[in-house]
């Protein structure tokens, strides 16, 4: 069964991969944009269009990890494999927004299915409308990252409800080589950067397959069903520039949990709403966790928890704005 489970998952991801051929390593941008925004647009497109492989590191406070990445674009469809180089040896396979994670454990390999986007180096949306409305962009330097020359672009927020970003982009190909997130005092809270990077010349997808471990059971993660819904939840006041981009509902035991997702184009915030039940201990207060802020309180008999990689002021405003239609 485990062979069938993995085969079905990866076959589903690979259905459209062979529909087209390898695309050219050329990124076309809007020539009417100012120079800094041209660089940003080229970076957003390059991460999705080009074929590359390398190794990058992620650092957030005391948390750090290193990842091997291989990315290819066939006929406009993205395919990528990330291998996390820690004790978990997680393998992450993605096609578009569909993600499969193989979590290696002592006796089993757990198969997890997820939906996601904006994985490094594709950190920026291709539509710059929201970012341009909420940030100012300027070129600040030229530096080397992973032995490659990069232009450094700063995205400065127009208000206190978002972080500042510095982005190092490869001059030749446009890929993001490094990205840092800074607070209002210009302190680095989080960074992600390539240690090694090269263009991928292979036209085969032999690498887009896991190596099966004999003697281990491959099991699919049990997940609560989720649906995208509309109901009587309202967020009355959002910080300027934030928009709701998703609303997901999950069943957990006898309770239904709503998750609302908001974004300003880069930063994102998730709001989790669950009815309070007898014996359940309420959570209240605010907790910073590196670049992430969390706020919790009770509204109309519901537990509201807001988590986002955005400044505390944005999280608090959203948390206090959740209400219900009467």
Instruction: Concatenate the DSSP letters of all residues of 173-223 into one string.
Output: T--EEEEEEE-TT--EEEEEEEEEEEE------TTSSPPP-TT-EEEEPP-
Cβ-in-10-Å burial (0-12, 13-18, 19+) of 54 comes to buried
Instruction: Confirm if 68 and 80 have CB atoms less than 8 A apart.
Output: no
Q: Please state, in angstroms and rounded to a whole number, the distance separating the CA atoms of residues 52 and 81.
A: 11
CA separation for the pair 189, 183 (Å, rounded): 7
69-107 confidence digits (pLDDT tens): 999 987 778 889 898 988 777 888 888 777 888 777 666
Q: What are the structural domains, with CATH classification, of the chain? A: 2-220 (2.50.20.10), 226-324 (3.30.200.100)
pLDDT mean across residues, the chain = 81
Q: What is the rounded distance in angstroms from the CA atom of residue 153 to the CA atom of residue 269?
A: 24
Summarised one tens digit per residue, pLDDT across range 283-319 is 989 998 889 999 998 888 889 999 999 999 999 999 8
Distance CA 74, CA 249 (A): 33
- In this structure, the chain runs to a length of 326
Cis peptide leading into 121, omega within 30 of 0?
yes
CA distances from 305 to 84, 235, 314, 320 (A): 29, 13, 13, 10
pTM of the complete model: 0.81
What is the spatial distance between Cα 79 and Cα 135, in angstroms, rounded to a whole number? 30
Is residue 32 predicted with pLDDT exceeding 70? no
Distance in angstroms (rounded) separating the CA atoms of residues 55 and 71: 11
Model confidence at 119: pLDDT above 50? yes
Q: Give 163-207 pLDDT, tens digit per residue.
A: 999 999 999 999 999 999 999 899 999 999 999 999 988 777 788
Q: What percent of the chain has pLDDT over 70?
A: 78
């Amino acid at each position: 069964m485990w062979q069938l489970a993995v085969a079905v998952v990866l076959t589903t991801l690979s259905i459209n991969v062979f529909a087209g051929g390898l695309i050219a390593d050329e990124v076309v941008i809007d020539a009417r944009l100012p120079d800094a925004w041209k660089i940003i647009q080229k970076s957003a497109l390059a991460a999705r269009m080009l074929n590359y492989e390398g190794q990058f590191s992620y650092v957030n406070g005391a948390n750090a990890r290193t990842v091997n990445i291989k990315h290819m674009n066939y006929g406009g469809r993205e395919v990528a494999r990330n291998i996390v180089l820690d004790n978990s040896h997680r393998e992450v396979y993605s096609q578009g927004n569909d993600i499969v994670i193989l979590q290696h454990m002592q006796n089993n390999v757990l198969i997890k299915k997820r939906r996601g986007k904006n994985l490094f180096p594709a950190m920026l949306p291709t539509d710059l409308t929201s970012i341009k409305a909420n940030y100012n962009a300027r070129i600040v330097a030229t530096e080397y990252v992973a032995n490659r020359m990069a232009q450094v672009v700063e995205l400065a927020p127009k208000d206190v409800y978002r972080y500042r970003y510095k982005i190092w982009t490869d001059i030749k190909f446009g890929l993001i080589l490094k990205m840092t997130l800074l607070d209002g005092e210009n302190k680095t809270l989080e960074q992600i950067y390539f240690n090694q990077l090269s263009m991928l010349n292979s036209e085969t997808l032999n690498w887009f397959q896991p190596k099966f471990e004999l003697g281990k059971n491959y099991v699919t993660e049990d997940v609560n069903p989720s649906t995208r819904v509309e109901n009587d939840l309202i967020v009355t006041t959002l910080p300027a520039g934030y928009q709701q981009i998703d609303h997901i509902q999950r069943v957990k035991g006898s309770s239904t949990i709503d998750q609302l997702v908001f974004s300003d184009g880069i930063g994102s915030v998730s709001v989790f709403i669950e009815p309070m039940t007898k014996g359940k201990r309420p959570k209240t207060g605010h907790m910073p966790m590196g670049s992430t802020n969390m706020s919790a309180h009770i509204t109309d008999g519901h537990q509201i928890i807001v988590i986002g990689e955005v400044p505390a002021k944005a999280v608090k405003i959203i948390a206090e704005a959740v209400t219900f239609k009467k």
